[in-house]
Homo-oligomer: A and B are copies of this chain.
Amino acid sequence: MKGNSTILVTGGAGYVGSHTVVELLKNNYTVIAIDNNVNSYATGCDKPESLKRVEAITGEQVIYYKADIKDKDAIDKIFKAHKIDSVIHFAALKAVGESVQKPLDYYQNNVGGSSALFEVMAKNGVKKLVFSSSATVYGDPQFLPITEQHPTGQGCTNPYGKSKYFVEEVLKDVCTSDHEWRVILLRYFNPVGAHESGTIGEDPAGIPNNLMPYISQVAVGRRDKLTIFGNDYPTPDGTGVRDYIHIMDLAVGHLKALERIDSPCFKSWKAYNLGTGRGYSVLEMVKAFEEASGKKVAYEISSRREGDIAECYADASLAKRDLNWTATRDIKAMCRDTWNWQKKNPKGFQSS
């Protein structure tokens, strides 16, 4: 089914969504992107800026609807208007800190919205899905590297992570109830970087939650200095270690998952880690970014942040074996492409 089929991409205007749409278009898929634009830069019902740029990068058109996955009638109309083959489901609220403040928003959007989407899918006979999950479902790692067999849902420390875990559980139950469903859960480690063109990238609203956008905003002069939360973790340099993965590698992973779902032997559901399998510390990332950008990144050390863990990195061998997928872009490419995007778009999509 590679190419020539139509993929509905929820949250298509977002960071992972837009980069995945680039890869889909490059591979001759027809893409229908929906987004409620709560985190996208767009005017009215206009196509969001990120998707306009995706079209500029690829020379292909994205069919776009401003729609919320919680609105079953609106989503149903989209399914009725197109012959959709599969769904890649990104749409979700994603700010960890905000989720602690507003848990009901997260449960209603991420769990309620997803359940509504799945109901509309089933009603329209579309039962192939790639779900945007997260390594946060593993909670505090019991062993490293983390395999897909690691327990999930225990010790998830925030509603964002729990909402991802809940949706995974909902999907497992959906697959048990109806054997026509074929679902891949992709558990992302730490997506960073940007498309090599530097025209699309991560554009967080407000103060970035994640390390890489924070570093690049310091480098570009939008923020004074980086705060590093804890340098007394049991890691080589005391700062937290994470498995960073280039966004374009991640995007490719979704296409591999779509192909896998269409292989004759695939049934029910399966979870895959998408990571490099190697961890980098905060200080290593700062150093690599300074080298890639030629800019100094000022930082201060602060105390540990509640809920943070010392180390987290993937065992990515299952995705290699089953999906024939492996991350190919290294830390230099991650930093170079982040900086390229940041430098060209100091205020993100608003710069346009």
A residues apposed to B, CB below 8 Å? 100-104, 107-108, 111-112, 115-116, 118-119, 122, 153-154, 159, 162, 166, 169-170, 173-174, 176-177
Contacts and interface: CB of A to CB of B under 8 A. Distances in A.
Nearest to A120: B104
Given A107-B170, A108-B112, A112-B108, A176 B100 contact: yes
A19 B116 CA distance: 33
Q: Copy number of this protein in the oligomer?
A: 2
Contact of A101 (B122, B153, B154, B177): B177
Contacts of A104: 115, 118-119, 122, 170, 174
A174 B108 contact: no
A122 B105 CA distance: 12
Contacts of A111: 107, 111-112, 115, 166
B101 A108 contact: no
A95 to B, nearest CB: 13
Nearest to A70: B112
B107 A177 contact: no
Nearest to A107: B115
Given A153-B153, A154-B154, A170 B103 contact: yes
Given A108-B116, A111-B112, A111-B115, 18 more contacts: A100-B173, A100-B177, A103-B173, A103-B176, A103-B177, A104-B118, A104-B119, A104-B122, A104-B170, A104-B174, A107-B115, A108-B112, A108-B119, A111-B166, A112-B116, A153-B153, A159-B170, A159-B173
B108 A115 contact: yes
Nearest to A156: B169
Contacts of A162: 169, 173
Contacts of A108: 112, 115-116, 119
A68 to B, nearest CB: 14
Q: Among the interface residues A107, A162, A174, which one has the most CB atoms of the partner chain B within 10 A?
A: A107
Nearest to A154: B154
- 6 interchain residue pairs of minimum CB distance: A103-B173, A112-B112, A107-B115, A159-B173, A104-B119, A108-B115
Contacts of A116: 108, 112
A104 B127 CA distance: 14
A115 B107 CA distance: 7
A102 B178 CA distance: 9
A176 B159 CA distance: 10
A105 to B, nearest CB: 8
Contacts of A115: 104, 107-108, 111-112
Contacts of A153: 153-154
Contacts of A107: 111, 115, 170, 173
9 contacts: A104-B115, A104-B174, A108-B116, A111-B112, A112-B116, A153-B153, A153-B154, A154-B154, A166-B166
Contacts of A154: 153-154
Q: Among the interface residues A100, A122, A170, A176, which one has the most CB atoms of the partner chain B within 10 A?
A: A170
A332 B112 CA distance: 43
